[in-house]
């Protein structure tokens, strides 16, 4: 079976719509589990589109917790398999520095075309800025690809042509050609950021209360990517000051701060309170 996915379709301050790759196995159970959390007003599920619409009160529950709570419920219905969380915002594999280089290339080209390059200082500044930012963007692009794929695409080698243009004083044409060669195919080649999240169910053997530990799945190469989804999860963990190994612990009442945050914590069971199953 293909790994289940949750796609974030849209989110506002009080509503969240998610699309599921696989149908809910027990719709009523999932809705009840979501609505028992204070702050979740209403949950609607469309079996045709496999989408979930959650109405919630932002003053009582944060958006990230709503997403993570749905992720836990979804994983539980599919025997605790890791769930892929997919962003609804498309991204292109173009470094931010490449956007600056385009601006400098256009500005320098416009000055030359309009005959405004009589001011040599300004003209030289734009030429060097175009070349420097383009070279920097290519280096950044190659570095990112090595981190994500373990190797860079051959197009990165075009930086040698750019560096050779320095002796010929052909800054703008070389910068433009190198930019197109390196980043041209990425303009229309966009992707949706995704990340595998692992859920582990544990139980307080004194109160029989179930808890769910949520962590980024290290077995996935996507763990190396600093994207939107990972960013919001990481920031959420930091903002809540969780102490349970950097992961999130959640139960039906809300977020839990490590082992000492359990409801009805029983000191007599402090040594055996967690029981994996």
Backbone conformation region of residue 256, classed left if phi is above 0, alpha if psi is from -120 to 50, else beta: beta
Considering the domain architecture, whether residues 84 and 115 belong to the same structural domain is answered as no
Q: Is residue 142 part of a domain?
A: yes
Q: What is the pLDDT, as a whole number, of residue 244? A: 40
Instruction: Tell me which residue of 61, 86, 275 sits closest to 191, measured CA to CA.
Output: 86
Kindly indicate the confidence band of residue 51, based on its pLDDT and cuts at 50, 70 and 90.
Answer: very high
Considering the domain architecture, whether residues 100 and 67 belong to the same structural domain is answered as no
Kindly indicate the confidence band of residue 273, based on its pLDDT and cuts at 50, 70 and 90.
Answer: very low
Kindly indicate the confidence band of residue 233, based on its pLDDT and cuts at 50, 70 and 90.
Answer: low
Q: How far apart are CA 26 and CA 93, in angstroms?
A: 39
Q: Is residue 84 part of a domain?
A: yes
Considering the domain architecture, whether residues 215 and 181 belong to the same structural domain is answered as no
Considering the domain architecture, whether residues 75 and 147 belong to the same structural domain is answered as no
Q: Is residue 268 part of a domain?
A: no
- The predicted model gives 17-43 an average pLDDT of 93
In this model, does residue 148 exceed pLDDT 70? no
From 13-27, 104-118, 127-141, 245-259, the region with the lowest mean pLDDT: 245-259
Q: What is the pLDDT, as a whole number, of residue 115? A: 73
Q: Is residue 62 part of a domain?
A: yes
Flag whether the pTM goes above 0.75: no
Residue 166 sits in which domain range? 94-186
The structural domain count of the chain equals 2
Q: Are 228 and 87 in contact (CB under 8 A)?
A: yes
Considering the domain architecture, whether residues 74 and 197 belong to the same structural domain is answered as yes
Q: Are 225 and 113 in contact (CB under 8 A)?
A: no
Q: Is residue 20 part of a domain?
A: yes
In this model, does residue 276 exceed pLDDT 70? no
Q: What is the pLDDT, as a whole number, of residue 41? A: 93
CATH number of the domain bearing residue 78: 3.30.70.100
Considering the domain architecture, whether residues 160 and 197 belong to the same structural domain is answered as no
In this model, does residue 125 exceed pLDDT 80? yes
Q: Is residue 131 part of a domain?
A: yes
Considering the domain architecture, whether residues 109 and 164 belong to the same structural domain is answered as yes
Considering the domain architecture, whether residues 163 and 27 belong to the same structural domain is answered as no
Considering the domain architecture, whether residues 181 and 104 belong to the same structural domain is answered as yes
Q: Is residue 255 part of a domain?
A: no
Q: SS3 sequence, the chain?
A: CCCCEEEEEEECCCEEEEEECCCCCCHHHHHHHHHCCCCEEEEEEECCCCEEEEEECCCCCCHHHHHHHHHHHHHHHCCCCCEEEEEEEEEECCCHHHHHHHHHHHHHHHHHHCCCCCCHHHHHHHHHHHHHHHHHHHHHHHHHHHHHHCCCCHHHHHHHHHHHHHHHCCHHHHHHHHHHHHHHHHCCCEEEEEEEEEEEEEEECCCCEEEEEEEECCCCHHHHCCCHHHHHHHHHHHHHCCCCCCCEEEECCEEECCHHHCCCCCHHHCCCCEEEC
Instruction: Tell me which residue of 160, 114, 154, 110 sits closest to 134, measured CA to CA.
Output: 160
In this model, does residue 228 exceed pLDDT 80? no
Question: How confident is the prediction for the chain on average, in pLDDT?
Answer: 77
- The predicted model gives 187-211 an average pLDDT of 77
Q: Is residue 24 part of a domain?
A: yes
Q: What is the pLDDT, as a whole number, of residue 65? A: 87
- Sorted by sequence, the CB contacts under 8 Å of residue 28 that are 6+ apart come out as none
Considering the domain architecture, whether residues 114 and 175 belong to the same structural domain is answered as yes
Considering the domain architecture, whether residues 235 and 180 belong to the same structural domain is answered as no
Instruction: Tell me which residue of 215, 128, 202 sits closest to 172, measured CA to CA.
Output: 128
Considering the domain architecture, whether residues 197 and 166 belong to the same structural domain is answered as no
């Amino acid at each position: 079976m293909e790994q289940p996915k949750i796609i974030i379709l849209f989110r506002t301050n009080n509503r969240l719509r998610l699309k599921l790759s696989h149908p809910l196995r027990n719709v009523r159970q999932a809705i009840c589990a979501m609505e028992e959390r204070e702050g979740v007003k209403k949950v609607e599920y469309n079996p045709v589109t496999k989408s979930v619409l959650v109405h919630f009160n932002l003053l009582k529950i944060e958006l990230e917790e709503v997403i993570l709570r749905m992720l836990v419920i979804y994983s539980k219905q599919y025997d605790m398999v890791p769930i892929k969380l997919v962003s609804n915002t498309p991204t292109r594999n173009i470094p931010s520095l490449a956007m600056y280089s385009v601006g400098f290339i256009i500005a320098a080209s416009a000055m030359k075309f309009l005959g405004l390059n009589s001011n040599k200082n300004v003209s030289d500044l734009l030429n060097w800025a175009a070349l420097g930012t383009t070279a920097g963007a290519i280096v950044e692009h190659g570095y990112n690809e090595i981190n994500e794929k373990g190797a860079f695409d051959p197009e990165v080698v075009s930086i040698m042509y750019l560096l050779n243009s320095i002796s010929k004083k052909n800054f703008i044409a070389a910068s433009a050609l190198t930019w197109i060669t390196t980043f041209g195919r990425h303009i229309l080649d966009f992707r949706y950021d995704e990340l595998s999240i692992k859920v582990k169910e544990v139980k307080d053997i004194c109160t029989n209360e179930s808890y769910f530990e949520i962590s980024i799945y290290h077995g996935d190469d996507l763990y190396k990517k600093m994207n939107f989804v990972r960013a919001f999860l990481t920031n959420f963990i930091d903002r809540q000051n969780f102490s349970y190994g950097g992961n999130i612990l959640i139960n039906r009442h809300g977020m839990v701060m490590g082992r000492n945050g359990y409801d009805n914590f029983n000191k007599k069971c402090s040594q055996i309170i967690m029981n994996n199953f």
